[in-house]
């Protein structure tokens, strides 16, 4: 099944994190792709991911643009972007909601806030 960027973002808005797995080499890719970058295979199957992972790297921006200030970000609420190492073995760049984030912090996909961007929050479970 071929998946488009629109399909990926529609799934995000519905609270689902999708990837594609190559039938030829078993490579897993997020965001989903229609062509495997490892073996150039075209048989990729859509998979729903668990949404669980850990912070591999992050940056917190406290001094932001006017648009970000209007969105609620600033010194008391920095914009945190992270590379999340997902349980399935792939990485994705995402926004992180919350604070007290360090490398290794367990996070979970935040389906309530992921309509336009991939968002994770600290996993307190």
59/114 same-domain check:
yes
Q: Does pLDDT of 38 surpass 90?
A: yes
Q: In whole angstroms, what is the distance from residue 113 CA to residue 95 CA?
A: 10
pLDDT by residue (tens digit) across 14-33?
999 999 999 999 999 998 99
59/108 same-domain check:
yes
Instruction: Look up the domain containing 19 and give its range.
Output: 5-48
Range scoring the smallest mean pLDDT among 9-18, 35-44, 46-55: 9-18
22/70 same-domain check:
no
pLDDT by residue (tens digit) across 104-115?
999 999 988 766
Residue 72 confidence (pLDDT) = 83
Q: In whole angstroms, what is the distance from residue 120 CA to residue 111 CA?
A: 8
Q: Does pLDDT of 1 surpass 70?
A: no
Placement of tokens 């190559």 in the chain: 22
- Confidence (pTM): 0.86
pLDDT by residue (tens digit) across 58-93?
999 888 788 888 888 888 888 899 999 999 999 999
Q: Does pLDDT of 98 surpass 90?
A: no
DSSP strands (E only) in the chain: 18-22, 28-29, 44-48, 52-61, 79-86, 91-97, 106-109, 119-122
61/112 same-domain check:
yes
101/70 same-domain check:
yes
């Amino acid at each position: 099944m071929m998946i488009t960027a629109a399909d990926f973002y529609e799934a995000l808005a519905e609270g689902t994190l999708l990837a594609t797995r190559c039938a030829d080499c078993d490579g897993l890719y997020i965001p989903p792709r229609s062509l495997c970058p490892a073996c150039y295979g075209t048989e990729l199957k859509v998979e729903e991911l668990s949404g669980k992972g850990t912070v591999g790297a992050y940056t917190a921006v406290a001094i932001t643009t006017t648009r970000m200030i209007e969105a609620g970000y600033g010194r008391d609420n920095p914009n945190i972007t992270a590379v999340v190492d997902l349980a399935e073995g792939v990485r994705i760049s995402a926004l992180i909601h919350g604070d007290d984030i360090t490398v290794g912090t367990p996070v979970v996909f935040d389906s309530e806030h992921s309509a336009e961007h991939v968002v994770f929050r600290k996993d307190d479970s």
